[in-house]
Copies of this chain bind each other. A is one copy, B any other.
């Protein structure tokens, strides 16, 4: 059975999104800046259909994030389109016609919706039965491959609190957001043990991997 990996970038003060999230500013004030280390990378630019870009110590790290990944899980807020029931001509994600995932993506939501097939082998499946159902469906789609939960904070917290995460891939951005969505919150006293697997110094970011032991 594949691993469940939680992959996300945080500020040094532990936020994955800044305060005052809105449709115009989906990562809140300062939240977009958390990801500035990624935008110049060749691997990032390629995945968005652009040429050129840099190769840094982050490049193999980012490449590793999609290696052997057969399905992705994300929260409704990360998929976007605002809260509540889906509109008649509903939101299709932030990523245009060809999202950079290329595997089935399971979106945690309270509102039913038919699967949404995009270009490049990305199909969004909307799961209303909670995190365990989403993981079961992702495992079925992924076969023996790994599964990534890539945000937001709330989705990762739910999987961590339930003892379902096998590996954490945290990128720490040199920023203070001072408020917003804190990654390691609402863990309800979950007894989580970590083993540091690797730390990588890169340009304007540090990547750290942890194995998660569920006790």
Contact = CB atoms under 8 A, between A and B. Distances in A.
B194 A12 contact: yes
A170 B12 contact: yes
7 contacts: A12-B184, A14-B14, A172-B172, A176-B187, A178-B189, A199-B206, A201-B201
A140 B185 CA distance: 42
A12 B176 contact: no
Given A13-B14, A14-B13, A194 B176 contact: yes
Contacts of A13: 14, 184, 187
Given A196-B205, A198-B201, 9 more contacts: A12-B184, A13-B184, A14-B14, A175-B194, A176-B184, A178-B187, A196-B206, A199-B202, A201-B201
A194 to B, nearest CB: 4
Interface of A: 12-14, 168, 170, 172, 174-176, 178, 184, 187, 189-190, 192, 194-196, 198-202, 204-206, 208, 210
Contacts of A206: 196, 199, 206, 208
A46 to B, nearest CB: 25
Nearest to A198: B201
Contacts of A170: 12
A73 to B, nearest CB: 21
Contact of A200 (B12, B189, B201, B202): B201
A192 B199 CA distance: 25
A28 to B, nearest CB: 14
Contacts of A198: 201
Contacts of A189: 178
A197 B200 CA distance: 13
A145 B199 CA distance: 31
Nearest to A183: B13
Given A13-B14, A172-B208, A199 B201 contact: yes
